[in-house]
Amino acid sequence: MARSTDDKRNFALRESGGQETSVFSGRTPRQAALKAARRLEPASSEDEAQRTKIELREKGTKKVHIYEGWAWEEDAPDDKPDWMPDRITEANVSKQGIEHLEEI
């Protein structure tokens, strides 16, 4: 199935017990993983950030994308809009692999 470039896909965040607690959308699994990572407890700097396993199942499939994610706070850019706080949460992820579920 061909996708147009602006098609959003939905990814369910899986907890350790297999329950799916949130849904993140994005064009790519990485984009959804970054959104999930931004919800982690932020560290004071990227170097001090705890790395956390993030598992996202693509809705409608048995494919689980596995990432290592971390978040940290940093100063907002000087040209930030008025509504943006002075400290913002940044995040990054590193893909660890893909697993296929037997059943959903």
Please give the pLDDT value at position 4: 56
Q: What is the mean pLDDT of each run of 10 residues along the chain (104 residues)?
A: 71 91 95 97 96 96 97 96 96 97 75
In order of 48, 53, 63, the CA distances from 11 in angstroms are 28, 15, 10
Burial class (CB in 10 A: 0-12, 13-18, 19+), 56: buried
Residue 16, pLDDT score:
84
Per-residue model confidence (pLDDT) at position 102: 84
Overall number of domains in the chain: 1
Range of the domain at 48: 9-100
In a domain, 2, yes or no: no
User: Does some domain include residue 26?
Assistant: yes
